[in-house]
Structure 1
Amino acid sequence: MRHSMILFLVLTASCARLEDVGRAPEFKPVETGYEVSAMANPGLPETVEIPREIDQASLWNSGRRSLLGDRRAETRGDILTVVIEIDDRAEISNSSERSRSGTESLGVPSLFGLPQRIDERLPAGASMADAVSATSSSASSGDGSVRRREKLTLRVAATVVNELRNGVLQIQGSQEVRVNFELRELIVTGYVRPQDISRQNEITYDKIAAARISYGGRGQITDVQQPRYGQQVADILLPF
């Protein structure tokens, strides 16, 4: 029974992979995403808008579409650009060295004549003159180094999906690019302050709280680079 269940799971996983043979990876549906829902159902307005006939009578247009209007994202459903420019470099080097040595000796050459009496009862060549003698030494050294270099430059449009009570905006953005049979996917989520958004309606990734940035792919190249399921299980179970 157990072997049949394992065989069934293997065949199910294999059939799922065989469905993609000769086909390019498909995009995820956009209409069912959280971003479209936020744009289609914006939050309730908190300010009273000026009637259009009154606004037209003034030389100053306070709308967001005016020449000097503030076009930064501020409410649910608005779109802003997230600029991801990661160029991190870390280099750590540690070294340690420790040594210890000790010598101990104990001898009783004479003590009211008792050592001589004891020497008579000891085996030939044994004496209390050098009763105990011990020498110990230890040494250890270690070296370690870590070098890492990461560089990533991306831009993605994100949507304001929620506005918290303190005015912080929750954003979520996704982007999919398919080249031949390989699909690259970029996902960005996090929380931003409206005052951190630039006049160009952009925000850098280092100003996003609880940022989650995922950049990966799926398709023929990614499938070949991934180890098989059996190999992954063997790497976990085998102790050597």
Structure 2
Amino acid sequence: MTILKNKIFIMIFATVFISSCASHVEDRASLDFEPIIPENMNIPNNNSNSGGIYNESSGGLFATDRRAGQVGDILTIALSEDFTASKSQSATSAKSDSFKVDLPNLLDPAGDQALLDSGAETSFSGTGSAAQTNSLRGEISVTVMRVFSNGNMEIMGQKKLHLNNGNEYVRLSGMIRPQDISANNVVQSSRIANAKIAYLGVGDIADTGQKGWLSRALASISPL
């Protein structure tokens, strides 16, 4: 009885440990998406007013470009991803062979007997199909991580939603061109090069859509 209790305790502990590991892994992965905050620069304070309308220290009302262009700037990505993929395959093969050798009968030439008579026939038929549809829409703010000499910018950001029964993560990284940034500082996700977009969840709700660790272990060694 004691051995049975110990086994039950070990299984419960293993389940809790594995569940907590999933959350810990995602929390560690979140550190890679922390924004870069540039160090404060000593900008000279030139607030002297000469009495004119134009002031060099003022960015102006209409001429100022509010779009992101430097490391640490923030811009918005409009997610509009729709993917549909389908694939089907079929194969059929058949083969038939026959082999026969006759041995003449010296006592009765008319009564030849077959020394060897064999035949073989094989056939195969198989079909397969796969289909997948994905859709992701929304908005996420990202940070400029690096600016290249040609003006292109490397961006990265994430959004973490803490729900009652778990956490939801939306992560995005890639490269954008300055000309793809709209006047209101928004870039469409279809204009991101080398885009890496991830939407995943950790918690009770996400676990219900996955096999348990014991089921996965048994499935990996099952010959069926």
TM-score normalised by L of structure 1 = 0.63
Equivalent residue for 1:80?
75
> 1:92 is matched with which residue?
87
Establish whether residue 66 from structure 1 lines up as the match of residue 66 from structure 2: no
Provide the rounded CA distance (Å) in 2 between the counterparts of 1:143 and 1:151.
28
Partner of 2:130: 146
3-state secondary structure, aligned to 1:72? coil
Find the aligned partners of 2:91 and 2:149 in 1 and give their Cα distance.
Answer: 52
Deviation at residue 65 of structure 1 after TM alignment = 6.3
1:175 Cα deviation from its structure 2 partner:
0.7
Q: Which residue of 1 aligns with 2:162?
A: 178
With over 3 angstroms needed to count, the CA separation of the structure-2 counterparts of 1:141 and 1:219, relative to structure 1, is closer
Aligned residue number for residue 205 of structure 2: 221
The amino acid that maps onto 1:125 is G
Partner residue of 1:39?
37
> Residue 5 of structure 2 aligns with which residue?
none
Contact 2:80 2:190 in 1 (8 A): no
Q: How many aligned positions are there? A: 210
Residue segments in structure 1 that go unaligned for 5+ positions in a row: 1-8, 108-114
Residue number among 168, 172, 178 corresponding to 1:194 in the alignment: 178
Q: CA deviation at 1:67?
A: 2.5
Distance, in Å, in 2 between the alignment partners of 1:79 and 1:236 is 45
In the superposition, relative to structure 1, how do residues 181 and 143 fare at CA in structure 2: closer, same or farther (>3 Å)? closer
Q: What is the percent sequence identity of the aligned residues? A: 25
1:89-168 → structure 2 map (5 Å cutoff): 89-99=84-94, 119-120=105-106, 125-126=111-112, 139-168=123-152
For residues 107-127 of structure 1, the C-alpha deviation after alignment (integer angstroms, 9 at most, x for no partner) is: 9xxxxxxx9xx5417898326
* One-letter identity of the residue aligned with 1:66: L
Distance 1:18 1:160, change over 3 A: closer
Give how far 1:162 is off.
1.5
Once the two structures are superposed, what CA deviation does each residue of 1:46-69 show, in whole Å capped at 9, x if it has no partner? xxx9x7769995659897663343
How far, CA to CA, are the matches of 2:149 and 2:108 in structure 1? Answer: 91
Take 2:19 and 2:191, find their aligned partners in 1: how far apart are those partners? 43
How far does residue 220 in structure 1 lie from its aligned partner after superposition? 2.6
Give SS of 2:76's match.
strand
Check the 8 A contact 1:35/1:77 in 2, yes or no.
no
Relative to 1, partners in 2 of residues 1:80 and 1:63: Cα closer, same or farther, differing over 3 Å? farther
Query: Is 1:237 matched up with 2:221?
Result: yes
Which secondary structure state, in structure 1, belongs to the residue aligned with residue 37 of structure 2?
Answer: helix
Cα separation, partners in 2 of 1:98 and 1:61, compared to 1, 3 Å? farther
Distance of 2:183 and 2:126 partners within structure 1: 52
Tell me the distance in 2 between the aligned counterparts of 1:121 and 1:58: 131
